[in-house]
Structure 1
Amino acid sequence: MTNSLYDQLHQSRFSVAVLRDVALPIALGRDHANLEYWLGKQVARQLPVSNEDQLAVLAAEAEFGTLVITHGRRNRVTGTLSGNQVAGRLAEATTPSFGFETGWLAQEWQMLTGIFTEATYSIQNGLVIITLHSDPNEPLAATEQPHGDPITPLQTSSEKPAAAD
């Protein structure tokens, strides 16, 4: 994906909540959480970032919420989503799925590290906790590259979004 396509997506404003919490579950059916995870991975391949700092910027711009990455053990990294978008989805949807965001983050992390990565999520105290599980024994082949060139989100790491999400 080129920056021009990224720019087009960034400028188009439509109800992400309706698509994410109403349309996708209807269209994908009862297995929507697993399919959303796969879809998130596919979208990440089209919107690869070039460094870890850009993950939070892109998450904010995509209205996933405020993303904070915490490095844990060697094979485990945690991403925490919070903010108004997350709180709103948790309050409004009966059982909101964060499968899309989880798949997106797993794939972005895999592309950044070059190591096979899968992820799970849980909801705890109004936060979405995404746990990334990487296997350093499964490095990616050179052919497993993203479909687009790394994008440059509109905000840099020094211009992180304000807490007014």
Structure 2
Amino acid sequence: MSDNDNMTQDLFGYRLIRDELIPDLLGNHTKDILYWAGKKLARSYPCSNEGEIISFFIRAEWGDLSIIKQKNYEIHFELAGNVVQERIQHNDPLFTLEAGFIAEQIAMIKQYQTEAVYTRNKKHCVQIELKWDQKDPYSLPSRKASL
């Protein structure tokens, strides 16, 4: 068995849950729920800089994350690698979980509300663009008191 066959086999269970079961369960709300789930995960696993975000992606096996462009109030990441290519080849996967995770991490690092959007490109990569507003300071979402 080749390394590529091993990768395909290793990702099969992940793809079943992430790209087939979850969208079936959540239906039209999948994009929004995964985005907010990514933000929640970011608060549970805070990173202190962009390098730690990249390391988290490796550890979580979400793909190879890299910074491709940075300007005043925005940063562009690229998500690539075997995991991303394998998901794209077998489905029309969503990457809103990853986008939400990065958005919340950057918001916590920069201390401004941050939003992310992603696009897939022809190279079987995902571009994630983040923008923050210096007029909108970051604050943790309030938790409702439990009964």
Q: TM-score, normalised by structure 2?
A: 0.81
Write out aligned runs for 1:1-165 (5 A). Answer: 15-93=13-91, 95-125=92-122, 126-141=124-139, 144=140
Q: Which has the higher contact order (CA 8 A, sep 6+)?
A: 1
**CA radius of gyration, larger in:** 2
Name the structure with the higher helix share.
2
CA offsets 1:66-117 (integer angstroms, 9 cap, x no match): 0002342211100110000000011011x21001111011011111111110
Partner secondary structure for residue 135 of structure 1: strand
Structure 1 residue ranges (4+ consecutive) displaced by more than 3 angstroms after TM superposition: none
Amino acid at match of 1:60: I
Q: Which amino acid aligns with 2:72?
A: R
Structure 1 gaps of 5+ residues are 1-13, 148-165
Tell me the secondary structure at the aligned position of residue 61 of structure 2: coil
Deviations 1:12-53 (A, max 9, x none): xx9332221122112211221121111111111111112221
Aligned to 2:94, what secondary structure does the other structure show? coil
CA RMSD, aligned part only? Answer: 1.9
Using the aligned pairs only, state the percent identity. Answer: 32
Q: Which amino acid aligns with 1:37?
A: Y
For normalisation by structure 1, the TM-score amounts to 0.73
Q: Within 1, Cα distance between the matches of 2:43 and 2:95?
A: 18
Q: 5+ unaligned residues in a row in structure 2: which ranges?
A: 1-11
